[in-house]
Structure 1
Amino acid sequence: MVMMFKERHIGIVPIQEYNCASLTPFGILCFLECLVMKFHQHVLALVFAVNEINENPNTLPNVTLGFHIYDSYYDARMTYRTTLDMLFKSHRFNPNYKCGICNSLITVIGGLSSDASFHIADILRPYKIPQIAYGSFAPGKIETTHSNSFYRMVPNEDHQYMGIIQLLVHFGWTWVGVFAEDDGGGEHFLSTLEPFLSKNGICSAFTKRIPKQAHMGDMDELFDTLSNVYLPLMEDKPSTLILYGGSLTIMLLMTITYLPHPDYKGNASVAKVWIMTSQIDIILTGLQRGFDIQFFQGAFSFSIHTKELPGFQEFLQTIKPHSTRADGFLKDFWEQAFVCSFPNPQELVYEGGLCTGEERPSHQDATTEEWLMGEKHKLHDLQPWQLQPFLQGISFNNSAGETISFNANGEMGGGFDITNMVIFPNRSFQRVKVGSVSEGKGFVIHKAMIIWPRGFNQGIPISVCSDSCQSGYRKLKKEGEKFCCYDCALCPDGKISDQKDMDDCLQCPEDRYPSKDKDQCFPKHLTFLSYKEPLGVILISVAAFFSFITALVLGTFIKNKDTPIVKANNRDISYILLVSLLLCFLCSLLFLGQPNNVTCILRQPAFGIIFSVVISCVMAKTITVVVAFMATRPGSSMRKWVGKRLANSIIFSCTLIQSGICVVWLATCPPFPDLDMHSQSNEIIALCNEGSVLMFYLVLGYMGFLAIISFTVAFLARKLPDTFNEAKFITFSMLLFCSVWLTFVPTYQSTKGKYMVAVEIFSILASSVGLLGCIFSPKCYIIIFRPELNDREQLTKRKTY
């Protein structure tokens, strides 16, 4: 198509990007016709823009714009040839020869594909002729090779990449398939997108490169290509597919979905959510008649932001095939757009009926790309290279009310619209804007406006490799698979996960514990052996009861202090022993209640010193019996030890040593109140930290040492004459005492929390009761129930009492 001009013209390369020689059977030829339909809409938009400029005397006064259209046939050789032909038009091809009308060329509008535009730039760059591209290209390649030649009427593609990522994140699609055209643009797309996928927790189930040109003549090669793409396309997972490419990419993909495949036995109508880049969005309209496009129902596409252009729809209504002779494409366009045919003597049957030329659009895609150029400048003597600084600094409002300007990289600002494809039963469709992504406004999506593919029953599709791990579980990576594929493992003890799909469980704070489902942390309860709880009440009652019994025994002994049975075996030691046992029962109360500084400092030292006095008294009584027996022998030197002095010395010295140990303990590392956060999962244990465990066990060890000595002496003296012998009862008492405290050590170590305290209280009470019962119960029995036996003569005659 050629538009005549007066002063200036613009070259358009190309309008059709396909290689006819590479397309053969399977109904693919219909694509060629359909592609013309979409590209013709681009031409109509350009015609409208040029007419608007030419008809407005205030835009370019005394200047009329025109344009030529050239076809590259999707071939590098043809692209170079047509570009040179545009520059050096003549009857014969003469490079660097300019004649007449061609001197008016000021700029070139490139094609949709990056390769075609780059080939054009290779020719234009030496002549400093600017190229305006309206296709979306990989920015890195442009900036490094053709930065001085390109002015892109599209935003930076990086916005589109981030829009894809944000769309996936918004709907939770972490398992996606990626199809990309096998060229530089596709390689850049993959290298840019894949790091963002990983960074946002998204995995690509597969990445397939679609050949830029399918060599359809070789059937084996054709089916190899189909197999490489067909099988992953029809798998149930993933449900979300990303597609990057151009016109031939979508053609091949549609062919693949149309043809049956011998290796695939599944359901060929598996529902998918497609996410398409802007290049595919531009050319998708041409597929309406070729195949059933229900496969793309609900697809998302990123399209360059557009706005309704005033007057354009009215312009389209004025176009009729019979009145527009200069447009050689309009007839084909009309037949495809309205499914009709113009009369042809060679055809007897007309698909869809005859065209009248009066048909009007219905359900046609109204999206167009409008590029308007113009400023109040004199262009009569303008050279192409002089347009470069003008384009670099251009900024104006077009007739749609939007600001047009290029940034430092030769890109137009703005962003991308996110459209949702709604396909009707008659194969017509409508693209509904459901969101946008731009540098200024960020990512915006309106979920209520989205129509999902029919296979998802209008619910939001799920595209994940593994089902979500619920709260209380963590993701456990599957060996040899991508990080999006995982099993779910229950959080370990002490940890929780309060969200879905957590990579690791969180440790609860020290003062909190995990719930049963391990999905939240509850505050721990402060626990200690309280006076009010049943166990505490029982221990208090036992301690009070035996304290009362001990006091009664002491009172009985004091009342009967002059009787032989009380005077035997040192009356004063019995008093000290009874008072010490009373204090033992009472000191157990220091272990009850919430620990504080006073109770923590007093409880263990008091317990250690008082029990040392008790054992010292028992040992003194036993040694007194032995010494008294030995002193009865004629000429014995032991008589000087008989009396109170020996017993008092034993009690004082043994108690002094234990007191010294306790003083050193309190002076160096005294006990203190503490909180145990870890022993119990759901409790904070209030306890007394012993300060120095060594000193604590040293106190116990010294008590054990005294007890062993007492037991040994008592055991050896158990067969002495009965009048002087208390050793049998002391032997039983010390045997019981040692058994209790030997059992105490492992039991104390194996319990936690308040039960440790209960074990120690029980040991104190049990050993005290054993000493009280074994040593004093026989004497009390005689004093109370057999007073007639409490006589010296009777005691002398008795073998035992």
Structure 2
Amino acid sequence: MGTIRLPALSMDGDYVIGGVLSIHHYMHTVKHNYTTMPEPLRCTGSIDSRELRFAQAMIFAIEEINNSTELLPGIKLGYQIYDSCASVPVAVHVAFQLSSGMDPVFYTGDKCSQSGMVMAVIGESGSTPSISMSRIIGSFNIPQVSHFATCACLSDKQQYPTFFRTIPSDQFQADALAKLVKHFGWTWIGAVRSDSDYGNNGMASFLDAAHKEGICVEYSESFYRTHPHSRIRRVADIIRRSTAMVVVAFAPSGDMRILLEELSRKPSPPRQWIGSESWVTDPDMRRFSFCAGAIGFGIEKSVIPGLRDFLLDLSPSKVAASPVLTEFWEDTFNCRLGKSTAIDKSVCDGTEDIQMLEKSPYTDTSQLRITNMAYKAVYAIAHAIHNAVCQETNSTTQCDKFTEIESKEVLTQLKKVNFSQNGYDVSFDANGDPVATYELVNWQKSESGSIELVTVGHYDASLPAGQEFSINRKLTWAKGGTQVPVSVCTDSCPPGTRKVLQKGKPTCCYDCIPCPEGEISNVTDSPDCFPCPKEFWPNAERDTCLPKPVEFLSFNEILGIILAVFSVGGACLTIITAAVFYHHRKSPIVRANNSELSFLLLFSLTLCFLCSITFIGPPSEWSCMLRHTAFGITFVLCMSCVLGKTIVVLMAFKATLPGSNVMKWFGPPQQRMTVVFFTFIQVLICTIWLVLSPPFPMKNLTTYKERIILECALGSTIGFWAVLGYIGLLAVFCFVLAVLARKLPDNFNEAKLITFSMLIFCAVWITFIPAYVSSPGKFTVAVEIFAILASSFGLILCIFAPKCFIILFKPEKNTKKHLMNKNQS
């Protein structure tokens, strides 16, 4: 085994508990020449006062147990506490020594491996040394209880069957840190870790949990205290240049100290530090004031009655008896015990008082966290030994200190322990882990300017999902800010936009693209836009769907009012014309132009004007059926009358020829029958249309995407065009006859007027067809009304206006003599 390594602190007892702590920061580097025996491994650097406090807490717990009448009464526990220098080689050396003992006698029996063996080992403080130790002492079934090794890998009982710990696994801390980052809306972070089992495994667990929470990592860098300075400087420069405001650091305090010292040399932009438990609760780390506002999870604060007095009870004889305490004393007071051998150190004169130290991690018991873990580890082992060697009889406990037990029995009992010490429960699950509870801690500046560790919340992994995390105090952020810092790759996309990932970048880096027409997004950072329902349309911001405005030709809008005025005006003009004709019904000009057909034509024209009003207003089942059929029938009635008048003109001239008796075949009865016959055909067409497939009101959602057009669907398109076609057929027939009669003599010949009116009528309706087909929405209705009004005005103005002018303003021409003057042009 080589040179025997002496414990830093030890005491004999009936049963011995081992301890391995990182009391020094570094191991002296040895260069091997392979020609001589290498010198023994030794520690260098300053003493870690915090680790020394852990060792003293172990001794305090053992002394408490030795003085107890309930736990291991009559049995004295001893201890062997070693300094591992936070290095694997020394930890392995100590592990072998604890497994085989320091007994120089070689035993040849079956139980040689048990000679001088400790019952259990407490430690190590770091995960990597703990892994190495567990692989060695696990082979001897020696239980190992760590107070500070948090690597999730140590929960694997296949590899580490004898490993237990009183501190929660980093798997819980990693999940808690990811939830913390997500809680404050940070999606763009930097990550640094120690290049050790603790840092690599902890960061891997955190990154996995962060990925599930939708958090992106700008960089992930590793470093170690023994790495070249250039490697540490490179990591520091990456942190300085990064755009991520938040940095998550998973490293032990020894490694983190090196990085923060490098960052303190050159000012960097403010960073919000998120720390793992190992360094964020270390009092020595709070000297880095630029990390003010740091937050992280720490083991719950605790109180150990009597510990402070024990720590301060360092008599000169105690200090002189222990090389570790001597070194601590000399470093603390910068003096040399005994005779001085150093130029810069004076001899300690005995006036040094440990109680006068205020800021030493050794004497600071205001934040007992890991110290309590070491304290509980001792009690857990003591309870396991108690259950192995003691028996309860008649409510009294009998313990036999001469009972020989193996460490395997202690291991078995350790799995079952379940007790409470100082109000803190201690038990282990199947993986050797305790229940995970943390405090959320925050580095806050006090009034004096120093940084204090303030508890601002809690995390309990045993609570239901979503309830594990709670914050009960205000936090201070980087640079003393009171507002939560923002750390995102891209600002959140507002409602009305969607996220589009940037090529080659993490999912947290994206562009915000406005939603396309007809689609909305109503949440922040929406990955997609979704269409509005059929009768809804997005608002201008495209973050909500509003009902589409309903559009139809209304009496309340200017276009509807104008058309209604012209409709009523046209009807009134027709009635006035009829009144003039009726008043002068016996005058030659009225009688010469077939007064009966004239009055019927005026009546039909009145209906034509009025039927256009049915096209205005919201469509209903009755209005849709009425507007098209009324329009079709009244216009056919109108055309029938015009056709009758045209035929009368032709027949009248035929009757003037010698021997002609045509008029008796086209007298008033035949004229009426003609009008009724032609009108009946249209009524028949309309009836068939209404019976088979009538017009009906519908919501037109296709013409305009952003609004609804209320209109009348034609039902049967054939029916509609049959009605229009029949009107057009009569108009063309009438036009042809009027053209044939236009040059007949005499002033009573109105064929010229009919020709002109039919010309206007045909022109209007020929123009109407393409306009009707191409006009959108309510303008389709307006075009139809305009065609009805234009053709109706064309008829009344062309046929009746000249006659009214003569009747009212040229009465001298309203004589039979004038009308019969064939030479009058």
Normalising by structure 2, report the TM-score.
Answer: 0.82
Residues 367 and 702 (structure 1), Cα distance of their counterparts in 2 relative to 1, 3 Å cut: farther
Name which of structure 1's ranges 457-466 and 362-371 shifts more when overlaid on structure 2. Answer: 362-371
Tell me if 1:300 matches 2:299: no
Describe the shift of the 1:736–1:392 C-alpha distance in structure 2 as closer, same or farther (beyond 3 A).
farther
Q: How far apart in 2 are the matches of 1:135 and 1:742? A: 96
After superposition, where does 1:250-649 map in structure 2 within 5 Å? 250-258=256-264, 268-281=267-280, 284-287=282-285, 293-319=288-314, 323-325=318-320, 327-334=322-329, 340-342=334-336, 345-349=340-344, 356-363=352-359, 364=361, 366-369=367-370, 370=372, 371=376, 372-373=379-380, 374-375=382-383, 377-379=387-389, 380-399=403-422, 401-422=423-444, 429-441=451-463, 442-446=467-471, 448-454=473-479, 457-505=481-529, 507-508=531-532, 513-520=537-544, 528-568=552-592, 570-622=594-646, 625-626=649-650, 642-643=666-667
Does residue 131 of the first structure (1) align with residue 138 of the second (2)? no
Whether the 8 Å CA contact 1:317–1:360 is kept in 2: the answer is no
Contact 1:747 1:759 in 2 (8 A): yes
Q: Which among 225, 233, 247 is matched to residue 241 of structure 1?
A: 247
Which residue identity does 1:358 align to in structure 2? I
* Structure 2: distance between partners of 1:510 and 1:327: 86
Cα deviation for residue 269 of structure 1 reads 2.4
**Counterpart in 1 of 2:3?**
none
Q: What is the CA deviation profile of residues 79-125 of structure 1, one whole-angstrom value per residue up to 9, with x for unaligned ones?
A: 33321111112477989997799545222223233332222222233
Q: Give, as a single letter, the amino acid of the residue that structure 1 aligns with 2:280.
A: D
Structure 2 vs 1, CA of residues 360 and 735 (structure 1 numbering), >3 Å: closer, same or farther?
Answer: farther
1:772 alignment partner AA? I
Partner AA of 1:419 in structure 2: V
Q: Which stretch shifts more, 59-68 or 680-689?
A: 680-689
For each residue in 1:36-61, what CA deviation from the matched residue of structure 2 results, as whole angstroms up to 9, or x when unmatched?
22222221222222222222121111
Secondary structure of the equivalent of 1:6? coil
Does the 8 A contact of 1:434 with 1:447 survive in 2?
A: yes
- Structure 1 residues 582 and 118: alpha-carbon distance in aligned structure 2, compared to 1, 3 A threshold: same
Distance 1:112 1:794 in 2: 133
Distance in 2 of aligned mates of 1:185 and 1:154: 13
Output the CA distance in 1 between the equivalents of 2:687 and 2:138: 98
User: Could you say what secondary structure the match of 1:3 adopts?
Assistant: strand
Aligned partners of 2:716, 2:345: CA distance in 1, in Å?
105
Q: Please tell me the residue identity of whatever aligns with 2:148.
A: G
Q: Match of 1:117?
A: 130
Residues 195, 224 of structure 2: 8 Å contact kept? yes
Q: Check conservation: 1:212, 1:248, Cα contact below 8 A.
A: no
The one-letter code sitting in structure 2 at the alignment partner of 1:84 is F
Whichever residue aligns with residue 418 of structure 1, its letter is L
For residue 10 of structure 1, report the CA deviation from its aligned partner.
1.9
* Corresponding residue for residue 120 of structure 2: 107
Aligned position for 1:226: 233
Paired residue for 1:264?
A: none
Q: How much has 1:413 moved relative to structure 2?
A: 0.7
Q: Single out whichever of 674-683 and 316-325 deviates more from structure 2.
A: 674-683
Partner of 1:54: 66
- 2:219 matches 1:206: yes
Name the Cα RMSD after superposition. 4.0
**Distance change >3 Å, CA 140–CA 214, structure 1 → 2:** closer
- Equivalent residue of 2:130, what SS? helix
Secondary structure of the 2:508 match is coil
Name the CA distance, whole Å, in 1 between partners of 2:824 and 2:414.
128
Give me the whole-angstrom Cα distance separating, in 2, the residues matched to 1:729 and 1:96.
143
**Conserved? CA contact 1:35–1:287, under 8 Å:** no
Structure 1 residues 757, 88: CA separation in 2 closer, same or farther (over 3 Å shift)? same
Q: Distance in 2 between matches of 1:194 and 1:12?
A: 33
Partner of 1:27: none
Quote the residue 1:151 is aligned against.
Answer: 164
Q: CA deviation at 1:176?
A: 0.8
Residues 629-638 or 525-534, more deviating: 629-638
The answer for the alignment partner of 1:764 in structure 2 is 788
Which aligned pairs between 1:659-674 and structure 2 lie closer than 5 A?
659-674=683-698
Which moved further from structure 2: 548-557 or 355-364? 355-364
Query: Given that residues 21 and 51 in structure 2 are in contact (C-alpha distance below 8 angstroms), is that contact kept between their aligned partners in structure 1?
Result: no
Q: Distance in 2 between matches of 1:232 and 1:517?
A: 40
Report the 3-state secondary structure (helix = DSSP H, G, I; strand = E; otherwise coil) of the residue aligned with 1:359: helix
Q: Distance in 1 between matches of 2:718 and 2:279?
A: 80
SS in 1 for 2:435: coil
Q: Is the 8 A contact 2:19 2:122 kept in 1?
A: yes
- Distance change (3 Å), C-alpha of 1:478 and 1:600: same
CA deviation profile, 1:265-294 (whole Å, cap 9, x unmatched) = xxx321001111223336x44446xxx612
Q: Distance in 1 between matches of 2:769 and 2:46?
A: 93
Residue pair 1:155, 1:411 contacting (<8 A) in 2 also: yes
**Aligned-partner SS, 1:465:** coil
Q: Does 1:5 align with 2:29?
A: no
Residue 797 (structure 1) aligned with residue 818 (structure 2): no
Distance 1:198 1:637 in 2: 106
Deviations 1:605-631 (A, max 9, x none): 322332333334434544554566567
SS in structure 2 at match of 1:63: coil
Structure 2 distance, partners of 1:664, 1:144, is 90
**Deviations 1:288-329 (Å, cap 9, x if unpaired)?**
6xxx61232111121223322333333333345653455543
> What letter corresponds to residue 613 of structure 2 in structure 1?
L
Equivalent positions of 1:41-190 (< 5 A) are 41-90=53-102, 102-103=115-116, 105-139=118-152, 142-143=155-156, 145-146=158-159, 148-183=161-196, 186-190=199-203
Q: CA deviation at 1:598?
A: 2.3
1:493, distance to aligned residue in structure 2 (A): 4.2
Query: 1: CA distance between counterparts of 2:195 and 2:665?
Result: 112
Query: Which amino acid in the other structure matches residue 278 of structure 2?
Result: Q
Would the aligned equivalents of 1:118 and 1:146 in 2 still touch at CA under 8 Å?
no
CA gap of 1:478–1:378, structure 2 versus 1, over 3 A, is: closer
- Answer whether contact 2:150 2:168 (CA < 8 A) is retained: no
Partner of 2:74: helix, strand, or coil? Answer: coil
Q: Is the 8 A contact 1:182 1:211 kept in 2?
A: yes
Partner of 1:28: none
Secondary structure of 2:11's aligned partner: coil
Question: What is the rounded CA distance, in whole Å, between the counterparts of 1:251 and 1:509 in structure 2?
Answer: 60
Q: Which runs of 5+ in 1 are unaligned?
A: 25-30, 217-221, 261-267
Does the aligned pair in 1 maintain the 2:126–2:198 contact within 8 Å?
Answer: no
Question: How many corresponding residue pairs?
Answer: 774
Amino-acid identity (%): 32
Q: Deviations over 1:693-731 (max 9, x none)?
A: 665455445544544554455456544445564333233
Tell me which amino acid in the other structure corresponds to 2:325.
L
Do the aligned partners of 2:440 and 2:457 also contact (CA within 8 Å) in 1? yes
Check whether the contact 1:178–1:206 (CA below 8 A) recurs between aligned residues.
yes
Cα displacement (A) at 1:654: 4.9
Change beyond 3 A, Cα 1:377–1:677: same
Matched position secondary structure for 2:119: strand
Judged with a 3 Å threshold, the aligned counterparts in structure 2 of structure 1 residues 45 and 160 are, in CA distance, closer, same or farther, namely: same
